[in-house]
Amino acid sequence: MPEKIYAGFIIRLAATILDTIFLLPIALIFYFFGDAKETFSLGNLFSYLFGLAYVAYFLGGNYQATPGKRLLGIYVAKSNNEKLTKARAMARAGASLLSFAILGFGFITIIFTKEKVALHDFLCDTRVFYGKK
């Protein structure tokens, strides 16, 4: 069996940007129908929850990739390359908020680790690989 190649920072960032573009119309709907002037509005909460559900649904699905990841030919699996459960996919989506909350440091670790591990990958025992499922 050929060795799996880990996806690095740039391609993962590009996939996140694509997914953000895909989610933008939904986020704008929540924003404009919620109280757009409030930082912690119900609309913002629903927007964040929808984003988490989007990621968890696709990562826990058959392709193991969000549409952005799928377009760029990468997927997420457990470190042993097993498919994620929906629960682990949801945990990873939530943990990625932690990676972001600490000034993005949780993502920067991708650059410096052999297996291209972000903080949320470490916490959830996941990896991002090149290839399609």
Using H for helix, E for strand and C for coil, what is the string for the chain? CCCCCECCHHHHHHHHHHHHHHHHHHHHHHHHHCCCCCCCCHHHHHHHHHHHHHHHHHHCCCCCCCHHHHHHCEEEEECCCCCCCHHHHHHHHHHHHHHHHCCCHHHHHHHHCCCCCCHHHHHHCEEEEECCC
Query: Residue 103's pLDDT is what?
Result: 87
As averages over each run of 10 residues, the pLDDT of the chain (133 residues) reads 86 96 87 66 80 94 96 96 95 92 92 96 97 80
Query: Residue 58's pLDDT is what?
Result: 96
Show me where the domains of the chain are located.
Answer: 9-130
Query: Residue 131's pLDDT is what?
Result: 93
